[in-house]
Amino acid sequence: MSVTATYPTAALDLDTDVLVLGGGPAGTWAALSAARAGARVVLADKGFCGTSGATAPSGTGVWYVPPDAERRQAAYLSRDALGGHLADRRWSMRVLELTHASIELLAERGYPFPHDDRGAPAHGSLQGPEYMRLMRKLVKGAGVRVLDHSPALELLVDGDGAAAGARGVRRQRGDDWVVRAGAVVIATGGCAFLSRALGCNVLTGDGLLMAAELGAAFSGMEFSNAYAISPAFASVTKTLLYKWATFTEPGGEPIPGAASQGGRSVIARWLAKGPVYAQLDKAEPSLRESMREAQPNFFVPFDRVGIDPFTQRFPVTLRLEGTVRGTGGLRIVGDDCATTVPGLFAAGDAATRELICGGFTGGGSHNAAWAISSGQWAGAGAADHGRRVRAGAGTTRVAAAAGTVALREGRAAAFSPEAVIRQVQDEVFPFETNYFRSGDKLGDSLGRLDGLWASLRTADAASRDEAVRAREAAAMTAVARWMYRSALARTETRGMHRREDHPQADPAQLHHVLSGGLDEVWTTPSSPLTRPQAELAA
């Protein structure tokens, strides 16, 4: 491609203080807080802000804890050991505080919270469709310009290496957009590798690739192998109600040790051999209506195929949710959720959540709280940075396109996104590589993924029609490489990262694994975490 592509112009060309990429909870809270801080804000989503992303169709329990020191300490400690002691107490308390206040705000703005059996408002759960419909309304009400069906393809970078906006396509109009911005928030969610887990097929790690192209670093990418239970035929990876399930082998015998919580790996081992069935037979009849009321989406697949999950067995599977309900993501280096790249901020699943979950999933509560809190910090940080940059530089600032694979001229023919996607899935879906890890399997897989990346690197730019899919394929390839390189570096078992060849936690590895790089993927340990005894007491 020519110089015009590197200094892009587009059908829609905007100039703003803050550009938010992604319109899930993290992106919408970021946009709100940036607007509240007085910044001009544009939000671009690949899909539709309000229905797109993991939360909208799924709904989330929220880490909502009233301001009571003992209860908050208990909340912090509840996942500390599961997370391999990698979480940070100060960050956990900040998140609990801001999440609590934000849920109160949602109540004020009209979220229809129910009342519990004593008549008190119940604030611990958000129904996805309701929540995200409200977030869209609040964002629009705050004057944010929302671009739907406008996937970002690449970031723009200024002369000093700082983030200066992004470029993408408007896929329903067949043209493109450029937004020049003083700061950018990456809120594009995690990477679930197109596994068809609920709401997750828009989540292919695009923002992680774009950030890495500016040199951003990651943390905790080894904690990226969250698998969620769903009926074998369906997308609904809602897992809470499996607490009341018995898991059985085809003959109907209960599988020893199989459980949704604390026995999911047993399910994985059996699924590797054959079908596994579930039935919610431990749910008292009196609880069944509450389950329907709490999670209407859970029952949609069953009602549609005519299965009564309380009285009938149904086949289940595990779908990879990667970093969506895993934990790794862009490394955060400030209280404002700044990344290692100037002008670039990260929030929600795109940012590392180790600060509050350590190496364990944040499913059920922490993830939603993290999106709400990190979103607002990133939005405020970006507003501050963006307005300062724009006041200084005016309109003369350089903004060059920073994308690589699938966007620039190459020596070989353009690659087939579908073929690359299948190749990556073959490396990351299998339990024997990703769930139960070992040095030799990870190494082999990484070798193939590195080779795949090298071939993408030499390929020509994708056609306009295929650009989005090609970038998704490239991002999935890149994410898989940061994942497995980090998984190789952590030669122990900690949090959700299980090494069959290193089954114990190693006290000498109480650190984060940082990673990054495109052609050469690197990892390095953070400095060791010190853990004052005071935070372990109580």
Partner 1 sequence: MIELVSAERCTGCNICVSVCPTNVFDAAPKGVAGGLPAIARGQDCQTCFMCELYCPEDALYVAPEADQPVLVDEPTLVRAGLMGGYRAAIGWTRDTAARRRIDSTFRLIKGF
Ligand X SMILES: Cc1cc2nc3c(=O)[nH]c(=O)nc-3n(C[C@H](O)[C@H](O)[C@H](O)COP(=O)(O)OP(=O)(O)OC[C@H]3O[C@@H](n4cnc5c(N)ncnc54)[C@H](O)[C@@H]3O)c2cc1C
Rule CB under 6 A: is residue 135 a binding residue for ligand X?
Answer: no
Q: Which amino acid belongs to residue 415?
A: F
CA neighbor of 489 nearest in space, from 456, 516, 453: 516
Q: Which of 30, 39, 41, 65 touches partner 1 by CB under 8 A?
A: 65
Rule CB under 8 A: is residue 425 a binding residue for partner 1?
Answer: no
Judged by CB under 8 A, the chain residues 101 through 120 that form the site for partner 1 are 112-117
Which residues make beta-bridge pairs with 318?
229
Choose from partner 1, ligand X, none: what does 114 bind? Cβ within 5-8 Å by kind: partner 1
Q: Which of 225, 365, 404, 433 touches ligand X by CB under 6 A?
A: 365
User: How many H-runs (helices) and E-runs (strands) does the chain carry?
Assistant: 17, 18
Residues 6+ apart with CB under 8 A from 513: 219, 220, 221, 222, 486, 489, 490, 523, 524, 525, 526
Q: Which amino acid belongs to residue 439?
A: G
- 172 vs 395, which CB is nearer to partner 1? 172
Choose from ligand X, partner 1, none: what does 371 bind? Cβ within 5-8 Å by kind: ligand X
The least CB distance from residue 350 to ligand X, in Å, is 6
CA atoms within 13 A on the CB side of 38: 4
CA neighbor of 350 nearest in space, from 473, 230, 187: 187
The least CB distance from residue 537 to partner 1, in Å, is 17
Distances in Å between the alpha carbon of 484 and those of 220, 437, 471?
11, 9, 20
Q: Which of 8, 29, 92, 148 touches partner 1 by CB under 8 A?
A: 148
Q: Which of 20, 75, 139, 202 touches ligand X by CB under 6 A?
A: 202
φ/ψ region of 389 (left if φ > 0, alpha if ψ in -120 to 50, else beta) reads alpha
Place of tokens 């129904």: 127
CA neighbor of 168 nearest in space, from 311, 42, 336, 302: 42
- 421 vs 442, which CB is nearer to ligand X? 421
Rule CB under 6 A: is residue 417 a binding residue for ligand X?
Answer: no
Rule CB under 6 A: is residue 60 a binding residue for ligand X?
Answer: yes
Rule CB under 6 A: is residue 44 a binding residue for ligand X?
Answer: yes
Vertex 139, ends 176 and 142: CA angle to 5°?
110
| Interface mask toward partner 1 for 361-400; x: CB under 8 A | ---x------------------------------------
Rule CB under 6 A: is residue 339 a binding residue for ligand X?
Answer: no
Residues 6+ apart with CB under 8 A from 73: 538
**CB 463 within 8 Å of CB 410:** no
Q: Which of 349, 354, 427, 492 touches ligand X by CB under 6 A?
A: 349
Q: Which of 8, 27, 165, 326 touches ligand X by CB under 6 A?
A: 27
Rule CB under 8 A: is residue 421 a binding residue for partner 1?
Answer: no
**CB 275 within 8 Å of CB 250:** yes
Which residues make beta-bridge pairs with 228?
319
Choose from ligand X, partner 1, none: what does 367 bind? Cβ within 5-8 Å by kind: ligand X
Rule CB under 6 A: is residue 337 a binding residue for ligand X?
Answer: no
How long is the chain? Answer: 538
Q: Which of 321, 354, 384, 492 touches ligand X by CB under 6 A?
A: 321
- Site residues (vs partner 1, CB under 8 A): 46-48, 50-53, 56-57, 61, 64-65, 71-72, 74-75, 78, 112-117, 122, 124-125, 127, 129-130, 148-149, 171-172, 196, 198-202, 230-231, 233-236, 240-241, 287, 290-297, 299-301, 303-305, 364
